[in-house]
Chain A
Amino acid sequence: MAKFSLRVNGKSQTVDAEPEMPLLYALRNDLQLNGPKFGCGLAQCGACTVIIDGNAIRSCVTPVGSVQNKAVTTLEGLGNTKKMHKLQQAFVDEQAVQCGYCINGMIMTSKALLDKNPKPTDTQIKEALSGNLCRCGTHIRILRAVKRASGQING
């Protein structure tokens, strides 16, 4: 066990962990951040996605020891029910959720996309989300929500 200092959602935090423990467990269990979800632990589904230095990263396979002093953003870092990020608001406006277990990954991956490409085409959005699985079949609404957040659908 060792101490690791993390910068999560703009705050400095310390966790006591084995260096190879995936970041996901530190976020969920040590920092009580429930946005990122465990889905597979195999980098196959995207449920655990967080943003590190601007990139959408699978926190289930990222050792906590490798992210020291890097800027980690989780779903909670985007906004909350009182003040939502435009992506979160767009998912509500489009009711782009069924069970919602995948939605953390959808929003975080889209956030990284929109930061680099503010007006993506349908094909670019689908490509960016191709590694994110949704079993409820919410794809049509998720696609619309991302377009809405990028200002390409109104009202």
Chain B
Amino acid sequence: MKTPVLTRRQFLKTTGALVVSFNLMPSAQKAFAQFAKLPSGDIDPTSLDSWLVITPDGYVTFYTSKVEIGTGVITALAQFVAEELDVPFDKIKMDAGDTNKTIEQGGTTASRTILRGGPQVRQAAAAARLELLKLASTQLGAPLDKLTVNDGVVSVIGDATKRVTYGQLIGGKKFNAKLSVKGTGWDMVVAPEVKPKNPKDYKIVGKSIPRVEIPRKVTGEHDYMHDVRIPGMLHGRVVRPPMINTEPVTIDQDSIKGIPGVVMIVREGKFVGVVAKSEWSALKAAHALEVTWAKPTSKVPGTPDELFTFLKNTKPVRSAKAVDKGNTATALAQSKKVYQASYRWPFQMHGMIGPSCAIAEVKGKTATIWSGCQGPFRTRGRIAEILGFKEQDVRIIYHEASGSYGRLSADDRAEDAALLSRAVGAPVRVQWSRQDEHGWEPKGPAQLDEVKAAVEADGKLTVWDFTDYSQPWTVSGSTPLLASLQVGLRPNNPGGNNGTQASGDFYTVPNHLITIHQIDWHFPEPIPLRTSNLRAPGDVARCFASECFIDEIAADLKIDPVEFRLKNLTGNKRGIEALQAAADKAGWQKRPSPAPASNGNVAKGRGVALTNLSNTYVAVVAEVEVNKTTGQVAVKKMACSHDCGLIVNPDGLKNQVEGNVIQGMSRAMYEEVLFDSTSAVTSLDWSSYPIMRFPDMPELELVLIDRREMDPLGAGEAATSPPAAAIANAIFDAVGARLREGPFTPKRVLAAMQKKA
């Protein structure tokens, strides 16, 4: 069967086929939420009215706790609503992320918004359409199967004079209909008995509908979190310690005496902040306030070398076998040749361009928080705990902040604002400095990956034994955040799991073992380097290790790297097609690596890597030029194939995938968080933590594989993983030197070249 690739012509066709107007002022008539409530006070998902409201003019307001974090998901979800209801796209308004108005559908994380939230939204919309048809059936005196819907108008098939609009049927009124709902949050299954549209009849899903908020974003009219202003609002700044396990010994109030407009110095436990009338005064006061901090007592690894030894030698808090098939130990013992290598990946950061920002208004026993968080209900839980309030007495109002990549899951800034607002009794806006954001954002954990393998003479893997050592996410789910820790709350578990995928798990191997160790050296005390989910959590490192190791074996066997992978992907149709699509796009020439030695100072090479994240397959081919004298690597070109099942919005998907590939390339080439022996982060700005800049951008070609027969899968992360491995493999192809640690700085490349020589 041919791979269902979207050709450029089809792409233009799907993108150009629909004229779409922007949805700037969606409805002249204001929609009032008509939700039903559960006894807890939360919104009841079993009431259809909790999901959507239709005004007399036929506009639809859909309520969701999923939020726009710069990835286009709200446009994509709105496409589902418009599609299932048969309403023009520009009549859909999404009201997102207000905990007082929306159903808890789980956070906007882990590339699951389309995967899990998509079906929830689709089913609720399909259920609403069915209810509307029932109403129309009575009104028009025709059975359901004689009705058709076009642009929100129901008419009788064969008699177009018999018609009624959605607005006439339900405008401003309640459905009063029940939905069957199982489970909660991400896992909630909504109205499974309602039959949604057949994807082959899709008119709106699958089209490149322009993102609804982009016009406002290019004119300064979009209300980003940072732009929200509340009447009577004061400005706060937190004075962070140099490292977490310390506390203030003295605070010199006189040090900020001359600064106008300072309202209060706030201290709660180890938490110190200032509040002032203007942002500039708050900033100056936070900077000038003299606080002496106690010397930290804990001993932590102070260099990357110490850290990796430590990861290897410390007893894990948790270990798990993600894959366990056959008997790797016996098989390895019986193998004539055992391949073995280990790979290191540094701490990396999310690096939002706009730092953390939130506003809190604490009044008596209630609180309202404005925040750009990926999980409004998660933030609500955190704020309730730190303030000692009932969850339902806390309201979170979402506003989009800066691109997040997982950073906005942990809502540190909302906690800061809540403590400061309670202390001064007024709304307080908190915005972090660049140094605080770099220093205190929870990092993507450092990882050590060890791999052993054996092959048969024909190049089929017989053993794959992959072991991953990393920290868990110390901030995830319900674990206390920065201010919580400073006021004395302690975690009751060692945090979330840094993932298991991209570990060679999709190859077919008879003896297959993937072991994941989670190392947390301070639990239940706060961990010095906070860690959390960084886009494609753990996968960038594991994909680097597993896909470079595959390449090492292929090179040893003198087999072409694509061919070697194909040999070991037996029966994995989507994996094979993704790999081939990227290779074809890149014009891959079949030959083993490394390339024949070149004359001249610049060596060229190409490398490939494949990954799978939650069933989305991505392959990347990278072409590099290596300067043999300086070790400088230029990534010239990348080709990327992407299969995330049914494509909801081709251009939106391209935008995401391009971003993922560039970010993955940046992480591979430039990014490493440095720290000292007190665990204080020393990469505190963009010069000490560089990311990719325009002059270094590669050319990029994409192949989108569209699978109409599948559900849509996630696309927010997967393509971040393969660039590192593809680039490292390309460097090997160019100069025959193996990099087993990122990022691929000139120094590391030169060292690898010298080692080989």
Contact = CB atoms under 8 A, between A and B. Distances in A.
Contact of B685 (A42, A97, A134): A42
A53 to B, nearest CB: 21
B607 to A, nearest CB: 20
A22 B278 CA distance: 13
Interface string B344-376: 000000111111000000000000000000000
A107 B219 CA distance: 10
Nearest to A88: B218
B431 interface: yes
Interface string A1-28: 1000000000000000110011001001
A107 B660 contact: no
A62 interface: no
B531 interface: no
Interface in B191-225: 210-211, 213-224
A126 interface: yes
Contacts of B433: 41
Interface string B269-298: 000000000111000000000000000000
**Residue from the set A80, A84, A125, A139 with the largest chain B CB neighbour count within 10 Å:** A139
A128 B187 CA distance: 47
A72 interface: no
Nearest to A105: B353
Interface stretch (B457-465, B618-626, B692-700): B692-700
B655 interface: yes
A103 B218 contact: yes
A59 B138 CA distance: 63
B374 to A, nearest CB: 12
B210 A101 contact: no
Interface string B547-581: 00000000000000000000000000000000000
Contacts of A130: 693-695
A120 interface: no
B693 A133 contact: yes
A74 interface: yes
Nearest to B228: A34
A91 to B, nearest CB: 5
A75 interface: yes
A1 B286 CA distance: 19
Contacts of A143: 694, 697
**Residue from the set B219, B355, B651, B666 with the largest chain A CB neighbour count within 10 Å:** B219
A138 interface: yes
B136 to A, nearest CB: 36
Interface residues of A, number: 60
A84 B24 CA distance: 14
Given A38-B355, A44-B687, A135-B351, A99 B218 contact: no
A42 B214 contact: no
B218 A34 contact: no
A31 to B, nearest CB: 12
Contact of B220 (A35, A98, A126, A139): A35
Given A17-B280, A99-B400, A38 B354 contact: yes
B430 to A, nearest CB: 13
Interface string B659-688: 111110010000000000000000001110
Interface in A114-133: 123, 125-127, 129-133
Nearest to B663: A137
Nearest to A18: B280
Contacts of A127: 694-695
B22 to A, nearest CB: 8
B215 A34 contact: no
A99 B655 contact: no
A99 B69 contact: yes
Contacts of A45: 353, 686
B510 interface: no
B685 A39 contact: no
B355 A75 contact: no
A100 B434 CA distance: 18
Contacts of A97: 211, 214, 217-218
Given A44-B685, A101-B403, A135-B403, A84 B215 contact: yes
Nearest to B15: A95
Contact of A99 (B70, B219, B227, B686): B70
Interface in B407-456: 431, 433-434
A135 B686 contact: no
A83 B594 CA distance: 55
A133 B221 contact: no
A79 B215 CA distance: 11
B655 to A, nearest CB: 6
A112 to B, nearest CB: 15
B402 A140 contact: no
Contact of B280 (A21, A32, A138): A21
A35 B227 CA distance: 9
A92 interface: yes
Nearest to B661: A137
Contact of B434 (A40, A76, A92): A40
A155 to B, nearest CB: 10
A107 B218 contact: yes
A43 B126 CA distance: 50
A103 B192 CA distance: 41
A47 interface: yes
A106 B354 CA distance: 14
Interface in B637-658: 651-652, 655-656, 658
**Residue from the set A41, A42, A136 with the largest chain B CB neighbour count within 10 Å:** A136
B219 A98 contact: no
A84 B186 CA distance: 39
A81 interface: yes
A140 B697 contact: yes
Given A25-B280, A98-B71, A140-B700, A132 B219 contact: no
A99 B402 contact: yes
Given A76-B219, A98-B70, A135 B694 contact: no
**Residue from the set B213, B655, B656, B695 with the largest chain A CB neighbour count within 10 Å:** B655
Given A21-B280, A42-B434, A45-B353, A81 B403 contact: no
A75 B219 contact: yes
Interface in B457-486: none
A81 B694 contact: no
8 contacts: A35-B219, A37-B224, A98-B71, A98-B655, A100-B218, A101-B224, A133-B693, A137-B658
- Nearest 4 Cβ contacts at the A-B interface: A99-B70, A137-B662, A35-B220, A99-B403
Given A101-B224, A101-B403, 16 more contacts: A21-B280, A25-B279, A28-B227, A34-B224, A39-B353, A40-B685, A74-B220, A88-B218, A92-B218, A95-B651, A99-B404, A125-B694, A126-B697, A130-B693, A133-B693, A137-B692
Interface of A: 1, 17-18, 21-22, 25, 28-29, 32-35, 37-42, 44-45, 47, 74-76, 78-81, 84, 88, 91-92, 95, 97-104, 107, 123, 125-127, 129-141, 143
